[in-house]
A and B are shown apart, each in its own frame.
Chain A
Amino acid sequence: MGTGFTYTVYDITKLSQAETYGKTLVELARQNPNIVVLSADLAKSTKVVDFAEEFPDRFFNFGVAEQNLLGAAAGLALSGKIPFASTFGVFASMRAGEQLRTDIAYTNLNVRIVATHSGLSFGQAGTTHHCTEDIAITRSMANMTVIVPADSIETSKVVQASIDHQGPIYIRIGRGFEPPVYLDENYDYKIGKAVTMREGTDITVIACGVAVQSAYEAAEEAEDEGVSVRVVNMHTVKPIDREAIGSACSETKHIITAEEHNIIGGLGGAVAEVMAEIGTGVKLTRLGLCDCYSVIGYPEELYGRYGLDTDGILNTILDVKEQL
């Protein structure tokens, strides 16, 4: 597959991330016979049923066995296939963490791990099904690219871009009821290139995943309060866009990161590393889970609890503004 395939645009602003991923895969698979899809008894939850129905020979359900899911994905990749292996983030990154690291990352194979229900997106399921460690885990695996799309349209973009990418990719998406960030597909998506959603001169919020939309809305509201906020969608946490962080540090006075993840080791950690290396002296505030396990609740409630909703990010922006 190179360029030139045709992609039918669904009204994906109305679809969840997982649904979009499933439909995009079907489109791509019609043109690329090497695409195969693997599930671990979560085909319905991870929205790959359409693929399974259209390509039953290229769909493999491993049952409740995530280690085998990722080991077999490595075997398929070794045989020239492009496996998309889907399961919940918590299982992909931890239950099968060693297979991910040793069978897929160490070997640098073209496996795409689509980790659904990540962060707090399966809130009511409780902490066993939340996943607030996976960015830290996967980005410390050499060869691994780590992407956290902001919404359905971006998920579709990532899946398309992944086909021509060499090496493994961990694609971290939610359960699929997140609000849309992008109105259409008419923007340039490039793995590793952050998207500036909004310009600003006082503060920059660097966000990924569902926090991008909250950050954007918070920035709009902050404008009314007289604070100029840049919003950067850092969809690729690794390799991270150092240039975008550098510009934010030289052109704004404070950085806030926002993510559905422990503030240790995730996007906030990655941004902190780059800021320290650049040495600008700009301060950083990390939003996320402050090294605690999340409580039970619906996702929107949890985003509120951990300061990741619009109000939470706005309050942080206004607090920071006071200190500028």
Chain B
Amino acid sequence: MGEQFNSRDDLIRFLTNKVIDMKKKTIELTRIAGGGHIGGALSMMDVVVALYYHVLKIDPKNPRWEERDRFVLSKGHGGIGLCPVLADVGFYPEEAMADFNQLDSPFGIHPDMHKIPGIEMSTGSLGHGLAVCVGMGLAHRLDKGTWRIYCLLGDGECNEGSVWEAAMAAAHFRLGCLVAIVDRNMLSIDGPTEKVMGIEPFAEKWHAFGWHVIEIDGHNMSEILDTFENLPPVTSEQPTVIIARTVKGKGISFMENEPAWHYGGIDSEKEEICMKDLEQARPKGS
């Protein structure tokens, strides 16, 4: 995003602070909106911030720039975490989200590509995003594209058979331009993923489907950056999946690892606790 940093540490400090800022915005937005999918929005935030402030080649002033990297939020319910980030990087003013969830608002729980600048694809129904990215990847080949296509999935979403149809096709079509990221926060609505419908051995599944598999700590900014910066070349013949091990509700004491916080409402009292929890995590000297 054009920010210049004197050192790697400065970059990481900037991004870490940004994660906190965007989590605070997400909490505030959840209060304004009357509720939201807060748990999964918090678990994915480090990866989303790394992408939007450092990795993605995008131009918020020209959202349909042809050479841009594509990002599809397949776990569309995470929109309440993504939308403040899109505002902050300049796709639209923050005030545009003031009527979130209200009648005729462009902003609802699941993001709409025709209403929100910067949204590549309308998502919300799980198991759709990766197939759409496969189609984008095929077009990328025909157009000899230089960009990458990133797709962020939820782990519970990977119960959907259509995810694996798309996974099979991405490897079959050798779509090296495609990078899937799974927000492996271990919880779906009804409880632990392994109890509701187990997906382990998860890395082995992707590997067996022909993907290059990377497992990381999805809350370690240094590791996240190293991973994105060292992806196989866009011309490679194998799609990459990054399994980001995360904590649902990350950063909020009463939300972490609590299935009940898949979706919830925030009143001003809870908001105060959230803001305090988040500030405590801010790097010293910030």
Contact = CB atoms under 8 A, between A and B. Distances in A.
Contacts of B138: 36, 60, 72, 75-76
A68 B140 contact: no
Contact of B132 (A78, A98, A106, A108): A78
A79 B162 contact: no
Contacts of A74: 121, 131-132, 135
A57 B142 contact: yes
B208 interface: no
A108 B120 contact: no
A65 B161 CA distance: 10
Contacts of B141: 57
Given A71-B132, A76-B135, A77-B135, 17 more contacts: A36-B138, A58-B142, A65-B168, A67-B161, A68-B131, A72-B135, A75-B121, A75-B133, A75-B134, A75-B139, A78-B139, A98-B128, A102-B124, A102-B125, A102-B128, A107-B114, A107-B122
A103 B128 contact: yes
A71 B136 CA distance: 10
A62 interface: yes
Interface of A: 36, 57-58, 60, 62-63, 65, 67-68, 70-81, 83, 98-99, 102-103, 106-108
7 contacts: A60-B138, A60-B173, A63-B168, A63-B169, A72-B131, A72-B134, A72-B138
Contacts of B29: none
Secondary structure type dominating chain A contacts: helix
A94 to B, nearest CB: 14
B95 interface: no
A51 to B, nearest CB: 14
Contacts of A62: 165, 169
A75 B132 contact: yes
B137 interface: yes
Nearest to A106: B122
Contacts of B140: 79
A67 to B, nearest CB: 4
Nearest to A40: B165
Interface string B133-165: 111111111110000000000000000011001
Interface of B: 113-114, 120-122, 124-125, 127-128, 130-143, 161-162, 165-166, 168-169, 172-173
B136 A79 contact: yes
Contacts, number: 97
A72 B142 CA distance: 14
B143 to A, nearest CB: 7
B121 A68 contact: no
Contact of B135 (A67, A75, A106): A75
Contacts of B114: 107-108
A76 B136 contact: yes
B113 to A, nearest CB: 6
A113 to B, nearest CB: 14
A102 B139 contact: no
Contacts of A72: 131-132, 134-135, 138, 166, 169
A5 B138 CA distance: 26
A13 to B, nearest CB: 35
Contacts of B137: 75
Nearest to B113: A107
Contacts of A81: 139, 142
A78 B162 contact: no
A226 to B, nearest CB: 56
A99 B135 contact: no
Nearest to A96: B162
Given A72-B131, A74-B132, A67 B165 contact: yes
A68 B142 contact: no
A65 B135 CA distance: 14
For the complex of A and B, the 5 pairs showing the least CB-CB separation, nearest first, are A75-B135, A71-B131, A79-B139, A72-B135, A68-B165
A71 B169 CA distance: 12
B41 to A, nearest CB: 21
A80 B173 contact: no
A106 B132 CA distance: 14
Contacts of B133: 75
Contact of A71 (B135, B143, B161): B135
A253 to B, nearest CB: 46
Contacts of A65: 165, 168-169
Contacts of A107: 113-114, 121-122
Contacts of A58: 142
Nearest to B173: A60
B23 to A, nearest CB: 29
B173 A75 contact: no
Nearest to A64: B165
Given A75-B139, A79-B140, A68 B120 contact: no
B37 to A, nearest CB: 18
A210 B131 CA distance: 34
Contact of B121 (A67, A73, A78, A80): A78
Contacts of A68: 131, 134, 162, 165-166, 168-169
A75 B120 CA distance: 10
A74 B128 CA distance: 10
B242 to A, nearest CB: 20
B162 A67 contact: yes
